[in-house]
Amino acid sequence: MKLNGKTAIITGGGRDIGAAVARKFASEGANLAISYFESSKGADAVVAEIEGAGGKAIAVQADLNTQAGVDKLVDAAVDAFGAVDVLVNNAGGLIARKTIAEMELSHWEAVMTLNVTSTFMMTKACLPHMSGGAIVNLASQAGRDGGGPGAVAYATAKGAVMTMTRGLAKELGPDIRVNALCPGMIDTDFHNIHTPDAGRRGFEANAPLKRQGHVDDAANFVLFLACDDSAFVTGANYDLNGGMLMS
């Protein structure tokens, strides 16, 4: 029970990596507040599963592109559980693949807001309610290598998250540790939408571990960064890509 009695906020916790992290945290004793943007179906299912196993969780509809949405989520978590011990900034996305030549300023700004500004707002909103604990940001392999075709905006945003992680670790220590995970090819809806199947098969053929990652691979790593097992780790950006990129 590595998070027994702790309260964690997981943004985008209704599917894929976020949902896997929520289930993992609950199994380790955490109280969960998870956000969703549009459909409540996935988040409600995660909450029902956690509660069915004897845990405590709430799902909160929140647009984390806005200060009002951020405040709604944090306030709901504090009202339900009293404080915040762990923040997992998981919400984000590529939105669409666009080259610089075809990219509108509005697309660039939307990607930055979704991935970078939301992480800033969530972190700032949680700090008054954190006396210690950990923040785990979800960056990306794209922040290391520039991403695939049409992903310049997304890769730039995730690179900014990685740098923000380092800066926050210096600013918030010693009480709060801040680290990030940089996933590569994880079998999620993100890649179902944005990555052709041939690209995924090519990854499997070329990666040293010869498979795509599973959401539980990510959840296990996030748990490590959130609990005292990583008590002397802060400001780090960890690769999770089956050996496809070694930094």
Taking only the tens of pLDDT, the chain with its 247 residues reads 999 999 999 999 999 999 999 999 999 999 999 999 998 999 999 999 999 999 999 999 999 999 999 999 999 999 999 999 999 999 999 999 999 999 999 999 999 999 999 999 999 999 999 999 999 999 999 999 999 999 999 999 999 999 999 999 999 999 999 999 999 999 886 666 666 778 778 878 889 999 999 999 999 999 999 999 999 999 999 999 999 999 8
CA distances from 99 to 47, 74, 108, 184, 214 (A): 39, 35, 11, 21, 29
The three-state secondary structure class of 181 is strand
> What is the model's pLDDT at position 148?
92
pTM of the model: 0.95
Residue 208 tokens read as 């040293």
Give the pLDDT score at 111. Answer: 98
Q: Which among 147, 145, 166 is positioned nearest to 237, based on CA atoms?
A: 166
Q: Which residues contact 103 (CB under 8 A, 6 or more apart)?
A: 152, 153
> Contact at 8 Å (CB) between 34 and 59?
yes
Residue 192, pLDDT score? 67
Residue 247: which residues within 8 A CB-CB, separation 6 or more? 144, 239
Between CA 166 and CA 182 the distance in angstroms is 14
Looking at residue 198, what is its pLDDT? 80
The strand pair at 31-36 and 7-10 is best described as: parallel
Domain ranges of the chain: 7-184+216-232
Instruction: State residue 225 phi and psi, 5-degree precision.
Output: -75, -20
Is domain 7-184+216-232 given the CATH code 3.90.1720.10 in the classification? no
Are 71 and 129 in contact by the 8 Å Cβ rule? The answer is no
Please tell me whether residue 213 adopts helix, strand or coil conformation: strand
Alpha-carbon distance of 171 to 232, in angstroms, equals 16
Catalytic site includes residue 238: no
Q: Which residues contact 79 (CB under 8 A, 6 or more apart)?
A: none
Instruction: Considering the candidates 25, 36, 37, 154, report the single residue annotated as catalytic.
Output: 154
DSSP conformation letters of 86-126: EEEE------S---TTT--HHHHHHHHIIIIIHHHHHHHHH
